[in-house]
């Protein structure tokens, strides 16, 4: 059962308590309804992908009640401070480097060194974020492949029974997604047009490049939409899938009862739970990459993960990690 919570003090308090214990709560912003989960809780973030039925992991936007709280988790450069001052709270998302001590789960960034952060302008959303006291990861609150919801009823149409609650703050004012601006490189790049116009951003920052395909083509992502043009995290060590045995000079990414051998191993889920495994996937690849190399491993062997539930998204990412890389 999905609870419908009113946008009053009690409703916000209940929604915040649910988020803090790892449950999923959809909430209205000025753009569209977001499907929120505690961004510091890897299993809650994995549950977001599960509820949406997404067949792949892409980085999620992390929502904060203020620019100060956002900039505690990412490194703000001079440009970021300027646009944040001009457009936050509002429909603008900034992609910036994660701080080394950033507590946000790696799955939220899909394993990347950057994090997309936003301070939404909707008063109920701001109250919820303040009360939760944690960054909230939230993609649009719809099933994968369906249109973004702009009312609580739209959210229920797609996700009733799949999430703990929806905080009903009425229809969304803007109705289109936030503008995504990448400020993590030397020049600003527009990754997705949205609620804040490029003209307004350029008046503040000077010329902005329109979404370049980064490593997207290379990763076989295709040119689906500008916002999807994100490079993918892949470990430096070569990755071997569907391993039935582990060689002495390999590191093991285990799923279920681990194979014997190898230089070191990382368990995705001892019980074979794909949601738990999804939450640990990027952590595991990074850990094996660093420790495997240190211990003299020459590759990462990956045990088979079933294609059911989030296994599909896990396998999609593992296949990309295992694909031959040019240059």
Contacts with ligand AMP, residue ranges (CB under 6 A): 58-61, 95, 109, 112, 114-116, 139-140, 177, 180, 182, 191-192, 227-228, 230
CB of 300 to ligand AMP, least distance (A): 23
Q: Using the minimum distance from each CB to ligand AMP, give the nearer residue, 114 or 274.
A: 114
Binding-site partner at residue 181 among ligand AMP, Mg ion, none, CB < 5 to 8 Å by type: none
Q: Compute CA distances 241 → 13, 157, 183, 299, 319, whole Å.
A: 45, 38, 35, 11, 8
Q: Please, how many CA atoms are within 13 Å of residue 36, restricted to the half-sphere of its CB?
A: 31
Q: Does 40 bind Mg ion (CB under 5 A)?
A: no
Of the candidate spans 47-55, 78-86, 139-147, 207-215, the one that interacts with Mg ion by CB under 5 A turns out to be 139-147
CB of 77 to ligand AMP, least distance (A): 15
Q: Does 140 bind Mg ion (CB under 5 A)?
A: yes
Q: Using the minimum distance from each CB to ligand AMP, give the nearer residue, 233 or 266.
A: 233
Q: Compute CA distances 84 → 1, 29, 263, 301, whole Å.
A: 38, 17, 46, 43
Of the candidate spans 55-63, 99-107, 133-141, 193-201, the one that interacts with Mg ion by CB under 5 A turns out to be 133-141
Residues 103 and 100: their CA atoms lie apart, in Å, by 9
CB of 21 to ligand AMP, least distance (A): 23
Q: Using the minimum distance from each CB to Mg ion, give the nearer residue, 140 or 169.
A: 140
Q: Using the minimum distance from each CB to Mg ion, give the nearer residue, 41 or 140.
A: 140
Footprint of Mg ion (CB under 5 A): 140
């Amino acid at each position: 059962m999905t609870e419908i919570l009113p946008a009053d003090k009690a409703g916000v308090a209940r929604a915040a308590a649910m988020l803090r214990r790892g449950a999923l709560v959809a909430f209205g912003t000025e753009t569209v309804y977001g499907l929120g989960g505690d961004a510091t809780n890897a299993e809650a973030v994995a549950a977001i992908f599960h509820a949406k039925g997404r067949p792949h992991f892409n980085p999620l936007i992390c929502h904060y009640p203020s620019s100060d709280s956002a900039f505690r988790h990412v490194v703000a450069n001079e440009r970021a401070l300027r646009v944040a001052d001009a457009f936050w709270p509002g429909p603008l998302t900034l992609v910036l480097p994660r701080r080394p001590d950033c507590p946000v789960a790696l799955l939220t960034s899909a394993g990347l060194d950057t994090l997309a952060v936003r301070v939404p302008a909707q008063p109920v959303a701001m109250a919820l974020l303040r009360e939760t006291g944690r960054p909230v990861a939230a993609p649009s609150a719809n099933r994968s492949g369906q249109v973004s919801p702009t009312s609580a009823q739209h959210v229920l149409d797609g996700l009733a029974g799949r999430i703990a609650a929806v905080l009903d703050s009425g229809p969304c004012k803007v109705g289109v997604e936030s503008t995504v601006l990448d400020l993590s490189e030397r020049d600003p790049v527009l990754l997705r047009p949205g609620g804040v116009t490029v003209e307004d951003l350029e008046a503040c920052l000077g010329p902005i490049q329109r979404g370049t395909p980064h490593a997207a083509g290379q990763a076989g992502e295709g040119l689906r939409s500008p916002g999807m043009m994100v490079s993918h995290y892949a470990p430096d060590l070569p990755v071997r899938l569907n391993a039935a045995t582990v060689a002495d000079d390999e590191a093991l990414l285990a799923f279920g009862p681990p194979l014997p051998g190898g230089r070191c191993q990382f368990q995705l889920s001892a019980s074979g739970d794909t949601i738990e495994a999804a939450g640990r996937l990027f952590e595991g690849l990074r850990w094996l990459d660093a420790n495997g190399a240190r211990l003299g491993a020459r590759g990462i062997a990956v045990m088979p993960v079933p294609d059911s539930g989030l296994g599909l998204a896990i396998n999609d990412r593992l296949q990309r990690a295992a694909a031959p890389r040019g240059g």
